[in-house]
Structure 1
């Protein structure tokens, strides 16, 4: 497999309208670029002879530098070939320019995003890609070393995300979590110095703000069940929401993946998409009426119960992800209309089905059982989640003082 290096002028101008000089490394028709660090006017580049024109004040020095850089790249390519190393264009670039593994933050971030894509963790990929984008907008350059990510950098980043982009405190903390994850990975790979680690109790602390989780009450759910003036789309959205609620706030992605073959012996058997946990639940009586609504469209025992994934390319994780994402948005739009018709002032979304189950469960169900129903890996997660809906002790304590 051939590989080569070539001097080019990239047609991507900076803010001043100048174009970057670079060494292009190509392997198997895939290319990556190592920037030389100099920018010139478009008219100062001789495309045919691959050199800086004499019209540029520093043409002689720049051409000498380019010749030197190209020679270094070609020597390194020959050395790699003599060692019989079969590497991609990006790997060749690292071998040549970062032999000690001194990757930049954004290079490691891209590796992280690529890993998520290969693992089909598309929901995480979508959010982490957005977080990386915000960091790039702040820094305005992909040349960011881990040594530059110190306390001052992170504090300025937090201020910028809040003031310029109006991000919530929760989102800002999520971005810091990603930076911390990549920094820890860089330390493990010996790309960053552990002594310069900017996170910790006496440095940058990641602390998520407390959030209020609001669920529906039994009477509010009964109002939704009793509605009879719904459109076809609203009936479908209500069915999906109630299906989720009756199975302890099942995630919409798992709801839409449900097949008829998952239900037998009056039990629902499924593997949770998020953490692959297996669960077997009794099918509540209210679920059977929902199932009967879709039975006329059943094509086989292995068919999906709900229509959203019936035409999906199941071998294409992105297609499945996009269809679920689109469906969830439609459900939430219709649930908003349903809430208005039921005269419910609380926000009604698919995720509120989970909060509603937690709200009604309160402290009446043992935490270990709730952990199983929620499919949490850690009991502490269940206790923290359910704390949002347990108010009796605090209410009784208040009453004991003020009711005199």
Structure 2
């Protein structure tokens, strides 16, 4: 029952015409490959000595990595043979490359993405997949052991993201949060060493910058409501925006998922998609006029109020997500045009409906009631959010000093 491991250059080029280096594991004439995560030009491979030629960039580092991977493979094969374990070639591969520290950051990251996809958390999946792609562009290899994610690695990553991708501080902090989440997952699986954890008060600290949330005021909203000479599509975008605003800044995904049977006893009943919070609100008069605009297209009580999801495959979360994402982009494009016509200098998007509600609410509504209206799980979230729109005390304090 012979088995062996050998370094090879697979003759399967990627889209850039580069060839992958792999460890070939063979047992009983059955073969499998474990890629080391690097690609080179065909002419940079020494077929006789099974090494990367000096003509290739980073040839020394690549050859050291090749030797390390081959050593690990042969060591495990000898161990299995000495124990007389009858294992398949794929089981051998799994034992070699998915035990202990051999599991890489990107493998655990993929587990995280798979979990998000299985849970149909597609919005989070989209953003996290993009962040992981940014990390891969920086490292240029999927072979990233957790012990290499040091404070120095993260500091250089931050500089790279600022310089090469012009990412905001908020986006960079989101990437660090994702790395921390994946690192903690690896620690729980006993893959990463807790002693090498690069985050903490005396190490890499994740601190989000303060952001300014700007909402429209009453006068600006009234100008939007009274606009005439809008296109059919602009009228529809305005209706969606006002529907959201008049229901305490309801999120666009929840707006488009509303159905006619969510409305009964002159109240609107719905479950928030983000945290499954239930809410029942009296239908405002301004919402009634919007509903009347769409009632002619109602096919049944179970029909969607708005048209965007009428043709969606509701059994396919990806199709629903795609249609919601497309709709949001179209609405934002049309709201930009509406903002110009209403002579509003502030950025007008679907999400600004939520900020606008908060801006007008200010400090006139009790935080506990705002928490209910916003459907926040934690009162602290409401207080932090509403702090963006409460200026009265600061204004009065300033006036008390300078007004002499």
Task: Give 1:22 deviation, angstroms.
Answer: 3.4
- Give the match for residue 60 of structure 2: none
- Give the match for residue 383 of structure 2: 383
User: Greater CA deviation, 328-337 or 8-17?
Assistant: 8-17
Task: Give 1:183 deviation, angstroms.
Answer: 1.1
Task: Give 1:346 deviation, angstroms.
Answer: 0.5
SS at match of 2:24: strand
Task: Give 1:185 deviation, angstroms.
Answer: 1.1
- Give the match for residue 104 of structure 1: 104
Counterpart CA distance in 1 for 2:251 and 2:347 is 17
Distance 1:7 1:251, change over 3 A: same
Distance 1:38 1:218, change over 3 A: closer
Q: Which runs of 5+ in 1 are unaligned?
A: 26-30, 46-51
Contact in 1 for aligned 2:97/2:103 (Cα 8 Å):
no
> In the alignment, is residue 207 of structure 1 matched against residue 223 of structure 2?
no
Counterpart CA distance in 1 for 2:168 and 2:143 is 27
- Give the match for residue 262 of structure 2: 262
In angstroms, what is the RMSD of aligned CA positions?
Answer: 3.5
Q: Which runs of 5+ in 2 are unaligned?
A: 27-31, 54-65
- Give the match for residue 56 of structure 2: none
Contact in 2 for aligned 1:12/1:20 (Cα 8 Å):
no
- Give the match for residue 339 of structure 1: 339
Task: Give 1:303 deviation, angstroms.
Answer: 0.2
Task: Give 1:348 deviation, angstroms.
Answer: 0.3
- Give the match for residue 313 of structure 2: 313
- Give the match for residue 396 of structure 1: 396
- Give the match for residue 169 of structure 2: 169
Contact in 1 for aligned 2:38/2:141 (Cα 8 Å):
no
Contact in 2 for aligned 1:34/1:93 (Cα 8 Å):
no
Counterpart CA distance in 2 for 1:317 and 1:278 is 21
Distance 1:75 1:187, change over 3 A: closer
Q: TM-score, normalised by structure 1?
A: 0.85
Contact in 2 for aligned 1:122/1:318 (Cα 8 Å):
yes
Counterpart CA distance in 2 for 1:99 and 1:349 is 48
Distance 1:40 1:326, change over 3 A: closer
Q: TM-score, normalised by structure 2?
A: 0.85
SS at match of 1:164: helix
Task: Give 1:279 deviation, angstroms.
Answer: 1.1
After the TM superposition, which residues 133-148 of structure 1 pair with which residues of structure 2 at under 5 Å, given as runs? 133-148=133-148
- Give the match for residue 42 of structure 2: 41
SS at match of 2:100: coil
> In the alignment, is residue 154 of structure 1 matched against residue 154 of structure 2?
yes
- Give the match for residue 21 of structure 1: 22
Counterpart CA distance in 1 for 2:52 and 2:385 is 66
Counterpart CA distance in 1 for 2:52 and 2:221 is 75
Contact in 1 for aligned 2:104/2:144 (Cα 8 Å):
yes
Counterpart CA distance in 1 for 2:77 and 2:382 is 55
Query: Which digits, 9 at most, give the CA deviation of each residue in 1:79-110, with x for residues without a partner?
Result: 99968x9x9x6x87433323336411111001
- Give the match for residue 229 of structure 1: 229
- Give the match for residue 28 of structure 1: none
Distance 1:80 1:97, change over 3 A: farther
Contact in 2 for aligned 1:266/1:283 (Cα 8 Å):
yes
Counterpart CA distance in 2 for 1:138 and 1:388 is 35
Contact in 1 for aligned 2:37/2:143 (Cα 8 Å):
no
Distance 1:70 1:268, change over 3 A: same
